[in-house]
Amino acid sequence: MTVAKGAFGKKVIQIIKPTKKKVAVLVVIALAAGVFVVYKKVQENKQAAMSDDAVQTDLVTRGDVEVTITGSAAVEPNERYEIISMVSGDIISSPYEVGDYVEKDAVLYQFDTSDTDLNMQKQEIALQQSEMSYQDALEELDKLQVTAKSSGVLSDLNCKVGDEINANETIANIANSKMLEVTLPFNQSQIDNIYVGQTATISSSVHMSSVTGTVTEKEANPKAQADGSSLYDVTISFENPGAFTAGLVVGGEINGMISPGSGTVQYSDEGIVTAETSGTVESLRYKNGDYVEEGAVIATLSSSTIDNQIENSRLSYENSELTMQQSRESLEDYSIKSPISGTVLTKTAKAGDTIDKTNSTEILMVVADISKLKFDLEIDELDVSKVSVGQQVSITSDALEGEEFIGEITNVSVEGTATNGVTTYNAEVIINEPGNLRPSMNVDASVIVESATDTLLVPTGDIRTVMGKNYVFVKDASEDDQMPQGQRPGQMQEGGDAGEAPEGMGDAAGGPPAGMPESGGETAPAADENAQTGTQRGGNTPTAPEGFTAVEVQIGVSGDDYTEVLSGVKEGDIIQRISATTSDSSSMMMGGMGGMSGGMGGMGGGASMGGSGGPPSGGGGAPSGGGPRG
């Protein structure tokens, strides 16, 4: 449609009817423009796909690697004691307050002990009485042994085993045969010249011998004789020479004064053997005529009555002793001492308060050793074998930003705790120098369980494990030589000049991109997946992508990010990065677009529906001669 000016300046509208040829030209122009837009989009997608498909790489480096176990917990005092009272009563003293430092065995609370002291005095008296009764019973036991009160010859033994003996009953006599004595008379004129201790001579007409003795006794009162005279008895003791016996009639003289009479020899020390208590004769150790020493046991008696008295007395004494011991221990409870050296954390009772132990277990005070702090670190069952006593622990706290503390594992529990199918073990950690840390603060802890320094490292994710063996894909040396100058591993080659299709996107002559069909409607076969992912193709060795070789490596310490390599690679080797994946969607989309653009190109050429898939001839402009006509 054209507009022209007619006469008188009026606008005249002239409508030109388009021909068939003009309509065809307009359609071709529109199609060419659409093909150009599609081509540009395809080129962008192809470039992005090529970037995604590029094999990304990492370098084998040298450095340090650590494997750590981490956890969080709240710290608590190394030792903590809650002080409670074991007795009821009034508190008369409590010198320590919250925050005070106390030494071990310092008295924290002193209770009134007046009532307890009185009871202890009564128990002390009862104990003494029980002890006396027990000693008396033991003395009765000693009386069951019948002993000789002097040395001599045993005679007149009148009992046998099994006989019942009463208390104070005489069972035998003992005479001292080594010492003899005789009593001789002396007249009035003689007695005045005789004194105790004077030497005397004893003579025997039977043995025609004499022996020397000593005056041991002088009677002060005379004895009247039948002829009217008076005589005084003088006792003379002498040692038995062996020939003299009891009953022998002898004479004697003292200092030349001859006794007017004679006397009969007797044992000088003769006594009786008496049972001091009643009992049954259990045994006899001597018989008549035996010589016995003083203190020798002649007979042994038994008495169930005495046995029972002893047992009852013993039990009564022990009971009193235990009661007294319990009272002493109870008295110690009236003085509550600190079990450790530490700091008073809390205090709820003070001097003047009355504590009723029967109705409550009130905590009077809390004392803790905060010179060291501790906490439990939960260790997973998979890691517990890596943890041992003595390992150091690195500790931080959000409450003390910038400060780091060192702890030490002092115990690893033998028994674990299972929760939801996972078992954990507690490792006790002691912080010997807690600094500004306080009880109940939350801390984060990490334990280095494995480490290696100045060693070869590769990213942990770049290692492939096949049949228990570890591999990395090492870039072939020849590939580096063929890379364009300035290109680095893991980067794409830059595209060509403006207006030139990048390599693989079709040549200048309009040829199809690599992997695309020469005619629309078909799709190129996909690349071998094994070459893309490095999975095992055959045998036990994984198949590396083109330009790479699968190399078996021996690994050491393995962390989340990096793993130590002991052999197989060297520093600076280039290895494939496993995390780089290939996007197939871009190539598939570009293949579909290629068929479509080929059809458009054919329309641009005006003849074939195939074609190169490039832009229409003439750079996408309108076909020759396609302008409007007048």
- Segments making up each domain of the chain, as ranges: 16-54+479-530+580-630, 67-77+368-452, 82-117+330-364, 118-144+304-329, 146-302
Tokens of 589: 């989309």
Most confident of 32-46, 186-200, 608-622: 186-200
pLDDT at 536: 42
- What is the band of 527 on the pLDDT scale with cuts at 50, 70, 90? very low
The residue with tokens 């068939």 is 20
Q: Is the pLDDT of residue 499 over 70?
A: no
pLDDT at 397: 97
Who contacts 73 (Cβ-Cβ below 8 Å, separation ≥6)? 375, 376, 377, 378, 442, 443, 445
* Average pLDDT of the residues in 172-189: 89
C-alpha to C-alpha distance for 233 and 191, rounded to whole angstroms: 9
CB of 277 within 8 A of CB of 165? no
CB of 292 within 8 A of CB of 286? yes
- What is the band of 580 on the pLDDT scale with cuts at 50, 70, 90? very low
H or E element that contains 133: helix 114-143
CATH number attached to the domain at 67-77+368-452:
2.40.30.170
pLDDT at 30: 54
Architecture of domain 82-117+330-364: Beta Barrel (2.40)
Count CB-CB contacts under 10 A for residue 69. 21
The residue with tokens 């209770």 is 111
Cα 527 to its chain centre, rounded Å, is 61
Instruction: Give which of 31, 35, 32 is closest to 43, Cα–Cα.
Output: 35
Equal fold, 67-77+368-452 vs 82-117+330-364: no
Q: Is the pLDDT of residue 486 over 60?
A: no
C-alpha to C-alpha distance for 595 and 612, rounded to whole angstroms: 9
- 455 versus 483: the higher-pLDDT residue is 455
Instruction: Give which of 196, 198, 180, 190 is closest to 260, Cα–Cα.
Output: 190
For the stretch 10-56, pLDDT in tens is 333 333 344 444 444 444 455 555 555 545 554 554 444 444 456 89
398 Rama class: left (phi>0) / alpha (psi -120 to 50) / beta: alpha
Strand 57-59 and strand 574-576: pairing? antiparallel
pLDDT at 531: 37
- Residues in a beta bridge with 304: none
Who contacts 377 (Cβ-Cβ below 8 Å, separation ≥6)? 69, 71, 73, 393, 409, 426, 427, 428, 429, 445, 447
Q: Is the pLDDT of residue 93 over 90?
A: yes
Instruction: Give which of 316, 289, 365 is closest to 98, Cα–Cα.
Output: 365
CB of 563 within 8 A of CB of 458? yes
Count CB-CB contacts under 10 A for residue 385. 11
* Average pLDDT of the residues in 100-113: 96
Tokens of 48: 């992005």
Identity of the amino acid at 534: G
CB of 623 within 8 A of CB of 606? yes
Three-class SS state of 481: helix
Which of the residue ranges 6-10, 309-313, 453-457 would you say has the lowest mean pLDDT? 6-10
The verdict on pTM exceeding 0.85 is no
* Average pLDDT of the residues in 571-590: 60
- What is the band of 439 on the pLDDT scale with cuts at 50, 70, 90? very high
- 8 versus 462: the higher-pLDDT residue is 462
CA distances from 443 to 125, 392, 435, 594 (A): 61, 15, 13, 62
Three-class SS state of 182: strand
Which of the residue ranges 155-159, 327-331, 421-425 would you say has the lowest mean pLDDT? 327-331
* Average pLDDT of the residues in 572-578: 94
Three-class SS state of 220: coil
